[in-house]
Structure 1
Amino acid sequence: MPAPIILFDGVCKLCSAWANFIIEHDAARRFRLCSVQSAAGQRLLAEHNYPTDTFETMLVVDGERRFEKSAAFFVVMHQLGWPWRALCVFQLIPRPLRDWLYDRIALNRYRLFGRYDLCRLPSADHAGRFVDE
């Protein structure tokens, strides 16, 4: 079964830091990463009926299942195992409230954390971690 794919905004500094966090802490390589600005990212967004011109959520695609916003975050934390799995206790907070907070950060991410002019390319030691065509 193919690894779940995490789609992220490759020009967002917060989102890129998130991708680096996953690479660092996913030693078992449970996930693959895909920038929404890449050709593969655009194809995956279109396949799952998400807009390709604006992107306001992290998306985890696991076969036919999709997780977005706070649900995507918790899917990743659960799969990364201990100690990250402990963060799943926050799923006790009602999803509308979690997603409202997620949206506040997502909608202001460039202003709060900055953005890159270009989507950064993965380094050679990250071979196989990113989805490409």
Structure 2
Amino acid sequence: MVFFDGYCGVCNFWVQWILERDKKDRFLFASLQSEAGQRFLTKKKLSTTQFNTLYLLKPDTKYLI
């Protein structure tokens, strides 16, 4: 799962970049402002109001910034 700032043009560029290359549909996306994004941020004890990066949540529950 890729969490991204839904209002950020750079973030949206990278989402589109990933989508164009993800031929096997391996990635899912949610904005950090969404319900799922807010749950993720809260669970990981990250800011729920500052959205200055992308997060990649891997299946083993690790995440990359």
Shorter chain as denominator, the TM-score bin is: 0.7 to 0.9
Gaps of 5+ in 1: 69-133
When normalised by structure 1's length, the TM-score is: 0.46
Quick one: which of 44, 47, 59 aligns to 2:43? 47
Aligned to 2:54: 58
Counterpart CA distance in 2 for 1:13 and 1:56 is: 11
Q: Which has the higher strand share?
A: 2
Aligned to 1:100: none
Q: Which structure has more RCO (C-alpha within 8 Å, separation ≥ 6)? A: 2
Give, in angstroms, the shift of residue 30 of structure 1: 1.4
Give, in angstroms, the shift of residue 23 of structure 1: 1.1
Larger radius of gyration: 1
Q: Which of structure 1's runs of 4+ aligned residues deviate more than 2 A?
A: none
Gaps of 5+ in 2: none
Give, in angstroms, the shift of residue 20 of structure 1: 1.0
Aligned to 2:10: 14
Aligned to 1:118: none
1:29 equivalenced with 2:52 (yes/no):
no
Aligned positions, number: 64
Counterpart CA distance in 1 for 2:9 and 2:53 is: 14
Render the CA deviation track for 1:4-57: whole Å, top value 9, x for unaligned.
Answer: x11111100111111111111101111111100111111111111111011222
Q: Which has the higher helix share?
A: 1
Over the aligned positions, Cα root-mean-square deviation in angstroms equals 1.0
